[in-house]
Amino acid sequence: MSTPPVEWAVGSVSERLGIAPATLRTWDRRYGIGPSQRTEGGHRRYSEEDIRRVRVMSRFTARGVPAQSAARVALSMDSERLMIETGAEADMAAPVGDTSGTVAAVCSAALSLDPGALSRIYQRTLRERDLVSAWNDVFAPALRTIGEQWGKGALGVESEHLASEVLVTELRAVIRGNRPRAVDVDVILASADEEQHYLPLLALEAELARHGLGAICLGARVPTSALSDLLMSRHPSRLFLWASMDRPADEALWSVLSAVHWPLNVVLGGPGWPADLPSAGRSVTVSLAHDLGSAAHALLASVSETG
Ligand code: B12
């Protein structure tokens, strides 16, 4: 069974494209540049193709073409032509520094399954901002919006996969470009047992690398037994663990940490961890980091503390 196409209300189209709702309604009424669907109650519902046509209209009018002729050209374009016309500009629609426009552009590129546009938006964001602000202001909000849209059934899981896969590639490029020469097993980043989400680990690895700190990043779903073996054999000084999903009540990690007998700074991140952390072993400090910057700070600070 095929999924019905996503349809957007005037307000959402206005937010995505930065065009006033009144203008959108006028273009629809006067020139037929509008939604191909309406709800039973008569509310406008734009498809992705309708939105592309509005984009073309907007581009022409912005260049001074009279609305009437801009509309004629936009209406003459078939689906393929509209894709070509708008494919390259979708990601550039948001002006520099416009975070909500950029977040909307990420979602739109994810929805249109456009990896090229996603890379361009991510790269441009990383050029314009430092990594922490790129993550806090654009990437994390875009991921949250994508998660919400997926939760509502407005966006397919394939769009979520694509948006995160392309972000993985771009974050890895930052890591590669900044990777310190020496990376030993002193700083470990991992996602908790059974936890598939690991993008925040890459953001953190990239941020640490930018500060000259190399880390071993183990990625998603690291079994607690494997983590335990690694801790016991290599005695690292810092461990970061991510959990998006709620951790089980019988979390095995706590008993692993209670057996640690060397100074270990454990930083936990993500909404999956309980707010009240059980006390760990005497030599272990466990804290919750609420954002990328503070997680990086906690791990970097222990470098200066330990020399
Ligand atoms: C991308 C994604 C995926 C990708 C992951 C790819 C990858 N390489 O990581 C894939 C497709 C694999 C996936 C799978 C699943 N996902 Co998913 N996914 C997401 C998505 C869109 C982004 C995840 C992410 O990177 N989040 C990072 C930031 C954005 O997370 P945050 O929670 O907002 O962060 C908060 C804090 O932790 C802090 N913060 C933000 N960034 C950072 C960084 C650092 C370093 C620190 C310390 C703090 C911090 O600020 C935020 C506000 O407090 C989220 C949406 C979301 N809101 O997270 C859903 C989401 C996490 N997924 C969800 C679900 C349900 C799943 C699946 C169970 C789906 C399924 N049925 O298979 C599986 C998970 C299976 C498992 N056991 O892990 C739900 C979880 C709901 C819940 N808690 O129960 C979410 C919230 C979507 C939703 N709205 O329902 N997912």
CATH number for position 46: 1.10.1660.10
Structurally, the chain folds into a number of domains equal to 3
Q: Do residues 66 and 109 both lie within one domain?
A: no
Q: Name the domain boundary from 87, 102, 121.
A: 87
Q: Do residues 78 and 158 both lie within one domain?
A: no
- The per-residue pLDDT for 105 is 85
Tens-binned pLDDT, residue by residue, of the chain (307 aa): 455 667 788 988 887 777 889 999 999 999 999 999 888 888 889 988 899 899 889 888 887 889 999 999 999 988 877 877 776 455 555 566 678 888 888 988 888 788 988 998 999 899 889 999 999 999 999 999 999 989 988 888 999 999 999 999 999 999 999 988 778 789 999 999 999 999 999 999 999 999 999 999 999 999 999 999 999 999 999 999 999 999 998 999 999 999 999 999 999 999 999 988 887 778 899 999 999 999 999 999 875 554 4
Q: Name the domain boundary from 178, 211, 230.
A: 178
Q: Do residues 203 and 289 both lie within one domain?
A: yes
Closest residue to atom 44 of ligand 1, CA basis: 292
- The per-residue pLDDT for 1 is 43
State the DSSP string of 35-102. Answer: -SEE-TT--EEB-HHHHHHHHHHHHHHHTT--HHHHHHHHHH--HHHHHHHHHTTGGG-SPTT-HHHH
Q: Do residues 298 and 268 both lie within one domain?
A: yes
Q: Do residues 147 and 191 both lie within one domain?
A: no
- The per-residue pLDDT for 306 is 46
- The per-residue pLDDT for 95 is 60
- The per-residue pLDDT for 87 is 61
Q: Do residues 259 and 213 both lie within one domain?
A: yes
**Chain Cα centroid distance, residue 149:** 13
How far, in Å, is the centroid of ligand 1 from the Cα of 144? 8
Q: Do residues 174 and 255 both lie within one domain?
A: no
Long-range Cβ contacts of 28-33 (<8 Å, 24+ apart): 30/67, 30/71, 31/57, 31/67, 31/68, 31/71, 31/75, 32/71, 32/75, 33/57, 33/71, 33/74, 33/75
Q: Could you identify the atom of ligand 1 that is nearest to the CA of residue 270?
A: 37
| Structural domain boundaries, residue 17 | 1-87
Q: Name the domain boundary from 87, 112, 134.
A: 87
Closest residue to atom 81 of ligand 1, CA basis: 245
Long-range Cβ contacts of 155-159 (<8 Å, 24+ apart): 155/6, 155/107, 155/110, 155/111, 156/3, 158/113, 159/110, 159/111, 159/113
- The per-residue pLDDT for 307 is 40
Locate 54 and state its tokens: 């509005």
Q: Do residues 149 and 199 both lie within one domain?
A: no
- The per-residue pLDDT for 137 is 95
Among 170, 194, 197, say which to mutate for ligand 1: greatest number of ligand atoms within 8 Å of CB.
Answer: 197
Q: Could you identify the atom of ligand 1 that is nearest to the CA of residue 290?
A: 48
- The per-residue pLDDT for 88 is 47
Q: Do residues 122 and 63 both lie within one domain?
A: no
